[in-house]
Amino acid sequence: MPSPIISPTELADLIRNGTPPRILDVRWRLDQPEGRPAYLDGHLPGAVYVDLDHELARRGDPREGRHPLPPRAQLEAAARRWGIRGGDTVVAYDDVHSVAAARAWWVLTRSGLADVRVLDGGLRGWLAERLPLETGDVLPRPPGDVVLDEITEGVADIDGVEEWPDHGLLLDVRAPERYRGDAEPLDPVGGHIPGAVNLPTTVHLTAGKFRSPDEIRAEFAAAGVVDGVSVAAYCGSGIAATHTALAGALAGIDVVVYPGSWSQWSRSRGRLAAVGPAPSLDVVPV
């Protein structure tokens, strides 16, 4: 299996050698979800803009969470617009810690694409190597013809994660203050799923690039990941959890993702919210 990440120099070599992969610009962040203006101002050569909110997620009932997974037909239509054809190598990047790019990696990999990678260091890593950018829009012609599968593997639902701590390790990969319930800027209730352990996904990075597999494995082990224990991850709305799944893939650890994440849990009546640092917790109804 190819590595799930690729360095800027490796990608530049593929472009120069006339075998460019399909490159996806997935610029998105909570305070600036629309990345197209920045994309038009400058992007990697040949990169196609991906709208995370409308192509890597779907708009639905708020009780499903802020970023429910896209249905197969929607994702397949988007992938064809991006120009992806069967057998293509795909590289995704963004400009904030590869979190949004990891969402593209995860949904496309889980939809059956064999070779999807994330640009290590993202746009900043590319620019640090003094590599070129292009401006304007890229609209692949002809469009792609890729056929995708429904996402069924590596996914946990709300009932599954409620029971997960009974037989595995559930990771909350948000910032510690959101895990503890000290601050919750986006969802109606603060705190975390009872039994979850906090492992912020940013610990897997150094200067915007992924740490070595051994270092990542050590971070997982410190959180309680041991051989034979199933691991699931959630975040605010199912974006950062895919970044933890990517880190896990680098370290040889399979991480199941709960796409609804806290944005679904905190809007579901009858669920409990734990607050404070583990293991001394208060539990309140949502």
Catalytic residue among 57, 231, 235, 253, which? 235
In tens, the pLDDT along 49-64 reads 999 999 999 987 888 9
Q: Where are the domains of the chain?
A: 5-128, 158-279
**How far is residue 124 CA from its own chain's centroid?**
18
- What's the one-letter identity of residue 261? S
Given a cut of 50, whether residue 280 has pLDDT beyond it is no
The predicted structure's pLDDT at residue 7: 98
What is the C-alpha to C-alpha distance for residues 123 and 135, in angstroms, rounded to an integer? 14
Lowest mean pLDDT among 18-27, 54-63, 89-98, 201-210: 54-63
Residue 185 DSSP symbol? S
**Token pair for residue 160?**
């599954």
Percent of the chain scoring above 90 in pLDDT:
88
Q: What is the pLDDT averaged over residues 203-210?
A: 97
Q: Is the pLDDT of residue 270 over 80?
A: yes
Q: Which pLDDT score, from 0 to 100, does residue 60 have?
A: 77
- The pLDDT assigned to 286 comes to 59
Rounded to an integer, the average pLDDT of 185-212 is 95
CA distances from 173 to 177, 183, 192, 235, 245 (A): 11, 15, 10, 5, 10
* Percent of all residues in the chain with a pLDDT value above 70, rounded to a whole number: 97
Confidence check: pLDDT of 121 > 70: yes
pLDDT at 236 over 70: yes
**CA–CA separation, 181 and 72 (whole Å):** 35
- What does the pLDDT average to over 171-194? 94
Mean pLDDT of the chain: 94
- The Cα 225–Cα 41 span in angstroms is 42
Average pLDDT of the segment spanning 256-284: 85
Nearest Cα to 109, choosing from 264, 263, 260, 255?
255
Q: Residue 1: what pLDDT?
A: 72
Place 145 in a pLDDT band, splitting at 50, 70 and 90. very high
Question: Of 3.40.228.10, 3.40.250.10, 3.40.718.10, 3.40.50.1370, which CATH number belongs to 158-279?
Answer: 3.40.250.10
- Please compute the mean of the pLDDT values over residues 98-122 and round it to a whole number: 98
Distances 175 to 62, 92, 189 between C-alpha atoms, Å: 22, 24, 15
Structure tokens at 124: 């900043």
pLDDT of 32 above 90:
no
CB-CB contact of 146 with 88 (8 Å): yes
Q: Determine the CATH number of domain 5-128.
A: 3.40.250.10
- Across 114-122, average pLDDT: 97
In the three-class reduction of DSSP (H, G, I as helix; E, B as strand; rest coil), residue 249 is classed as helix
* Catalytic site includes residue 235: yes
